[in-house]
Amino acid sequence: MIKIRKNAGIYIRVSTEDQVRQGYSLPEQLEKLQELCKYRDYNIFKVYEDAGISAKNTNRPEFQKMIEDVKNKNINVVVSYKLDRLTRSVKDLENLIVLLEKHGCGLECAVDDINTTTANGRFFARMTTVLSQLEIERVSEKTKFGLIGAIKDGHIPGNTPLGYKWKNKKLVIDPLTKDIVIRIFDLYLKGYSYKKIANIFNEEKLLDKNKWYDSAILRIIENPIYKGDYLGGKTTGKPILYENVAPSIVTKEKWEDCQVQARKNTRNYTRRNDYIFQQKIICPNCNTVMACKAPGGSKKKYIYYQCKDCKEYYKEDVLKELLIDILVNIIEYDITVRKFFAPLLTHKLENTDELLLEEKRKLNDGKYEFEYTRKLGSKTLKMVPILNKDKLIKNITHYGIIEIPIKPINSVILM
């Protein structure tokens, strides 16, 4: 009996943590797996190497290439040093086992002694991954606990905020820049906008900068670090406020007053006019969407739309009148079609068979023959006419046989 050698795909992976903690270097993994393939008499098809990538998910370049080779039947056994080199997730392992089984591919791990070609091997693989995932979750809990302790001890993660500097890995107040932060809060409470404060700083070239932006002022006003608190977990969608973990530059009362002022400003900037043609009017000269305009003052306001490029403008009242005229014309057209043309079209569609048979009787005595076949519903009509082909098609078209189906009146689209 001829024994067919299996094509093996060797998968090796290491993250920075693994390499430091347990010494799973890539060359060592590769050497072990090459020896295993030689012992099993496997033909090594390809080595897939993911360096410095975690196994928390399967979004790894070489891992995905290996999966494609499995689907394309290029390899029929995946060889790995340990199961956690492939995945640490129970869900991902289950998906992997199902995929390998579907495409007739096995899985072998050198250290864990796993072979998914048997029921016992698959069971052991699942149990091993459950324990591996438990380890990850426990390490994650310890990391979070350590991070919380570090934050409470004054070790704030992230970039250095304006007004602070680092000393012994902790945030301390920078005497050279703290007055700028205090001034920003004071100006904002006096009614200055973010943009106006940024313009003042640009004119003064504060800190030798001429690119102060209103967005930077906004971030300073909203950052609770200036009242001594740190807001963590913003990227996870579950923010946590750690109070009194850094020295404050402004009082909590002043910071809260600025947040109240910001909410008032937001309400004051609420749009007071309804622009019914907003983002719907295009300049006839340059095809630019025209902007909405409404002059201020106590007098009656005339809303208009203006092109920012060629300065063309139209009053909204004029556009309303034009729109009403167009709608009236559309309604009148629809009423006319329904009243006069719809009955005629309905009569033609209902009596098409009779008209065609009458035409056939008229053309029954022909001098020369050619056959015209037309599918009409479930019937096929064949005629041998005396007239020339062009006149025949003209007559048949006259009685309603056309290449484009007639649409219902209510589905006509007017441009």
DSSP per residue, 52-79: S--SSSS--HHHHHHHHHHHTTS-SEEE
Confidence (pLDDT) at 101: 87
Within a domain: 344 = no
Our CA angle for 49, 54, 59, nearest 5°, is 75
Q: Is residue 97 part of a domain?
A: yes
Whether 151 is in a domain gets the answer no
Is there a single domain that holds both residue 33 and residue 80?
A: yes
Euclidean distance between CA atoms 90 and 127, whole angstroms = 9
User: For 60-138, where are the E strands, in sequence order?
Assistant: 77-80, 106-109, 114-115
- Mean pLDDT taken over the chain: 76
Question: Among 14-18, 52-56, 190-194, whose mean pLDDT is lowest?
Answer: 14-18
Which pLDDT band, with edges at 50, 70 and 90, does 69 fall under?
very high
Q: What is the pTM of this model?
A: 0.41
Write down which residue in 250, 268, 286 finishes a domain. Answer: 268
Tell me whether residue 291 is in a domain. yes
At residue 11, does pLDDT exceed 90? yes
Is the pLDDT at 259 greater than 60, yes or no?
yes
State whether 192 and 84 are in the same domain: no
d(C-alpha 88, C-alpha 217), whole Å: 44
351: confidence class by pLDDT, cuts 50, 70, 90: low
List the structure tokens of 43: 């033909």
pLDDT at 187 over 90: yes
pLDDT tops 50 at residue 91:
yes
CB within 8 A of 395, min separation 6: which ones?
A: 359, 387
Which carries the bigger pLDDT value, residue 176 or residue 302?
176
So which residues are the catalytic ones? 15
Cα separation, 70 vs 99, in Å, equals 9
Whether 199 and 236 map to the same domain: the answer is yes
Q: Is the pLDDT higher at 77 or at 141?
A: 77
Instruction: Taking residues 195-210, report their average pLDDT.
Output: 87
CA distances from 134 to 55, 89, 90, 140 (A): 14, 9, 10, 10
Q: How far apart are CA 283 and CA 185, in angstroms?
A: 43
Q: How confident is the model at residue 22 (pLDDT cuts 50, 70, 90)?
A: low
291 vs 39, 139, 277, 302, 306, CA distance in Å? Answer: 75, 55, 10, 14, 5
Same domain as 300, residue 359: no
Among 99, 119, 146, the domain-final residue is 146
Q: Which CATH number do you get for residue 228?
A: 3.90.1750.20
Pick from 97, 2, 94, 7: which is nearest to 43 by CA?
Answer: 7
Query: Lowest-confidence range among 171-185, 264-278, 327-341?
Result: 264-278
H or E element at residue 100: helix 90-102
- For residue 225, tell me if it sits in a domain: yes
* Cα 228 from Cα 249, distance rounded (Å): 8
* pLDDT score of 76 more than 50: yes
10 Å Cβ neighbour count for 181? 21
Whether 332 and 365 share a structural domain: no
- Would you place residue 326 in the very low, low, confident or very high pLDDT band (cuts 50, 70, 90)? confident
Using the predicted structure, report yes or no on whether residue 190 has a pLDDT greater than 80: yes
- Would the pLDDT of 311 be above 90? no
> What pLDDT score does 174 carry?
93
- Same domain? For 256 and 128 the reply is no
Give the per-residue pLDDT at 157: 83
Residues 99 and 41 in one domain: yes
Q: How far apart are CA 284 and CA 314, in angstroms?
A: 11
Q: Determine the pLDDT at residue 360.
A: 58
Of the chain, the end-to-end C-alpha distance in Å amounts to 75
Q: Do both 18 and 98 map to the same domain?
A: yes
**Is 342 within a domain?**
no
Average pLDDT for 211-226: 91
pLDDT at site 183: 94
Q: In this structure, are 129 and 197 located in the same domain?
A: no
pLDDT given at position 137? 74
Does residue 158 form part of some domain?
A: no
Range of the domain at 11: 7-146
Q: What is the mean pLDDT of residues 334-338?
A: 79
3-state secondary structure of 241: strand
**DSSP secondary structure letter of residue 411:** G
Domain count, the chain: 4
User: What's the pLDDT score for residue 388?
Assistant: 39
The answer to whether residue 21 sits within a structural domain is: yes
- Cβ-in-10-Å burial (0-12, 13-18, 19+) of 290 comes to buried
